[in-house]
Amino acid sequence: MIYFLIFITTIYVALIVSLIIGYNKVETTYIKNTIPKNTFSIVIPFRNEAHNLPNLLHALAFINYPKNLYEIILVNDYSTDNFKPIITHFKMKYPSINLKLIDNHIKSNSPKKDAITTAITQSNYEWIVTTDADCIAPTNWLLAFNQYILEKKPLFISAPVKFRKQESFLFHFQNLNFISLIGSTIGGFGIKRPFMCNGANLCYNKFTFNKVKGFEGNTEIPSGDDIFLLEKIHTLFPHQTLYLKSTDSIVQTNAVNNLKSFFNQQIRWASKTTAYKSNFTKVIGIIIFLLNFLLVSLLIAIIIKPFIWRYLVVVFFLKLCIDFILIYKTSLFLKARKSLKYFPIISLLHPFFVVFTAVFSLFKNYEWKGRVFKS
């Protein structure tokens, strides 16, 4: 048991250190006076998002990019709320913005993948940019993508996402967890082994999307429109799958506001892990789960064997320190340092959260956008 604990701890520390090194390798991009040349189709699937659409559309109205070089495609995924007047009002107020509303055509077990595919078939431009209806895009969003495309010649670009500030403890728990995911994502790209991205802020070449046959092969899995596409494109074009580390490209989104929604979200994210084709991604998931499982097990074992507390303290301290370095670096980039003061207490709770989520993702169905899916 002790030797296994040492082995898993060593592998975990080596993994996080490699991600920190990778994070540092990804250069920060700053906006220059680059001429807008690339054309973009912004694809936004939505379902019952009337409460979020005004903020989304307001942000899109102030995108700093020539109006003739981008379009906005809103994909209605069988919404039942009163969203149409919001879109009608926007089109009347901003007639120069090329916005169209289309309906989703569900053909699989993954409505979001179907919505994106439906939009891409009707898109007019070379680059597809995806985000969500509860997001706020930055003003220089397309300028940042345009410059990065011209400089780096990528085919798939992952870009950062962060939560809008709230004050509850649940928010800070989510925020630190999310910051660690963003940091790990950037680190993975930095070591040339990308294993995560976020569909709320992606940009990819439409021809490349069609070349890899889109989401074909993953449509029975409800979520994962982002990571499965990343895997497919990275397999064929490993040197053109990149991360845009720029403050001008950070999309903001909402954290969930209750425990039930939070666990549904986490179970949804965890449930697709077994379907990943990348062995590297699976190994990362296993290592993270095992270390957290061992920490929980050690805590319980202290009741029977009190001397074990020494091992628990050493392993937890190592994990605490190495995790903090990655989270601290990422929080500086995202300008989201306020949650750091909660890091010690949240670190104590996090192993239980990881184990709980992993176990339930294997057996429990989850709810997403008013629909129930099997995990």
CATH 3.90.550.10 fits 29-275, yes or no: yes
Q: How far is CA 210 from CA 27, 117, 205, 206, 224, in A?
A: 29, 10, 9, 6, 17
Q: Which among 195, 81, 196, 63 is positioned nearest to 129, based on CA atoms?
A: 63
Rg of the Cα atoms in the chain: 21
Do 112 and 131 meet the contact criterion of CB atoms below 8 Å apart? no
Residue 312: count of CB within 10 angstroms of its CB: 17
Do 357 and 258 meet the contact criterion of CB atoms below 8 Å apart? no
Domain borders along the chain are: 2-21+277-361, 29-275
Sequential pLDDT tens for the chain (375 residues): 678 989 999 999 999 999 999 999 999 999 999 999 999 999 999 999 999 999 999 999 999 999 999 999 999 999 999 999 999 999 999 999 999 999 998 888 888 999 999 999 999 999 999 999 999 999 999 999 999 999 999 999 999 999 999 989 999 999 999 999 999 999 999 999 999 999 999 999 999 999 999 998 877 776 678 999 999 999 999 999 999 999 999 999 999 888 888 887 777 776 666 667 778 888 998 999 999 999 999 998 888 888 888 889 999 999 999 999 999 999 999 999 999 999 999 999 999 999 988 887 776 665 656 655 555
